[in-house]
Amino acid sequence: MSEQYDVIILGSGPGGYVGAIRCSQLGLKTAIVERENLGGICLNWGCIPTKALLRSAEVLHNMKHAAAYGLAADNIRADLEAVVKRSRGVAKQLNQGVTHLMRKNKITVHMGTGVLKGAGKLEVTGDKGTETLTAKHIIVATGARARDLPFAPADGKRVWTYRHAMVPQELPSKLLVIGSGAIGIEFASFYNDMGSEVTVVEMMDRIVPVEDADVSAFLEKALVKQGMTIMTGAGVEKLDVTASGVKAAIKGKDGKVVTSDFSHVIVAVGIVPNTENIGLEALGVKAERGIIAIDDYGRTNVKGVWAIGDVTPGPWLAHKASHEGVIAAESIAKELGNKDVHPHAMDRRNIPGCTYCHPQVASVGLTEAKAKEAGHEVKAGTFPFIGNGKAIALGEPEGFIKTVFDAKTGELLGAHMVGAEVTELIQGYVVGKTLETTEAELMATVFPHPTLSEMMHESVLAAYGRALHI
């Protein structure tokens, strides 16, 4: 016997479970299929537990620098086991929260591995055997996994992916991080604050290469000041793994290969979409290197099959997946006759990116270089943290905020930040971009004092030669 639904969602990460909730809100009979943990990688092994780890590292960092605030804190140490336990507890709490949300929204959960078996059919194999579910629409939200190095697959002992790095049995004495995207830099920051000697190797000519060049340069300088070794334009040629450590052959930008010893290695060189062996090929769903082709509403080329999140073109971010889940749900509801819902297309230009290292990095839209490449005549303004009273009072005077405008129209093209709490500030510019604001509206906005957000105002003013406090 098959069970009939309006929508089945394969995968319960931040795209899948949010999409399921929106489907239910729109009156659609909805099921979700999950093979491991409700909440997916983000909630259980990614975004949330890493932020718990980073918070512990931040508190440790502040305690070690208590004297700068007129405080005394002696014999400061980290209890790695307790730090990890707290992180796992946070993940468990939120996993239980998603379970509650599924019940509250009357979404049926099928635990098991799902495979598409034809139009509107999904076969689920779990502990209770195999069952077939049917639905008018199926959303693929199976996410992604860490990419391995072909010459040194992760073993969980000496060579780690992000998943291993979240539950370490011991603190690395000397850590090599391969890759300086958000995942690599966040773990580099965490372990550096925890006391590991950290080296970061990045094949591009700068770290966090998707960010504005000024942000990359500032962050590298800050991390080196904290004690990290940063190698850009470099690559790992070979890893020799033993029971006691890893010997890495690293080719520098000068072309010379240097061999160094490390206790552990974190591989953060990208992700692989989980799209194999789920029946996409048999249905004729178009994909390239595992990435499913979709329109701006999540539709694939096969009627009734949708895709969201990390199985679709980037950026591969949890909040992008959640938004895609809502868009797909509303689009499905409209196709099923709901005239009161008006889905909007995804606009990738307005998706913010956040990196929770120390200092934090956040951005939205075009970098200054990309704006010029796109043919814009640009006005760019930068305002430093050192010019902001709240930043100085917090003891966080390092960083800056940069805004990029079209000189002819005043359109906000991009915003780029590095410094304390910028991951919370960036949403102001995201709202501005979504509302298609210009410099005039931002200049006329009243920002509260004393706050870090005042720097957002000053950055806009700086782009037009009107900064007040520097």
Answer yes or no: are the C-beta atoms of 106 and 270 closer than 8 Å. no
Backbone angles phi, psi at 63, to 5 degrees: -65, -40
Distance CA 390, CA 396 (A): 9
Distance CA 385, CA 120 (A): 54
> Considering only CA atoms, which of 43, 78, 46 is closest in space to residue 63?
78
> Considering only CA atoms, which of 212, 163, 168, 140 is closest in space to residue 79?
168
Separation of CA 348 from chain center:
14
> Considering only CA atoms, which of 363, 343, 351 is closest in space to residue 295?
343
Distance CA 340, CA 335 (A): 12
Distance CA 323, CA 14 (A): 9
> Considering only CA atoms, which of 260, 250, 297, 253 is closest in space to residue 137?
297
Distance CA 286, CA 275 (A): 11
> Which pair of structure tokens corresponds to residue 279?
């029946």
Q: What are the residues facing 248 on neighbouring strands?
A: 239, 260
DSSP state, residue 148: P
Q: How far apart are the first and last CA of the chain?
A: 71
Q: Where on the phi/psi map is residue 389: left (φ > 0), alpha (ψ -120 to 50), or beta?
A: alpha
Backbone angles phi, psi at 375, to 5 degrees: 95, 5
Alpha helices in 284-380 (DSSP H): 318-335, 368-373
Residues serving a catalytic function are: 449
Q: What are the residues facing 223 on neighbouring strands?
A: none
Geometric angle at alpha carbon 228, from 223 and 231, rounded to 5°: 95
**What angle, rounded to 10 degrees, do the helices at 16-25 and 318-335 form?**
30
Answer yes or no: are the C-beta atoms of 209 and 230 closer than 8 Å. no
Answer yes or no: are the C-beta atoms of 388 and 448 closer than 8 Å. no
Q: In 174-256, at which residue ranges do the beta strands (DSSP E only) sit? A: 174-178, 197-202, 229-232, 235-241, 246-251
CA atoms within 13 A on the CB side of 129: 3
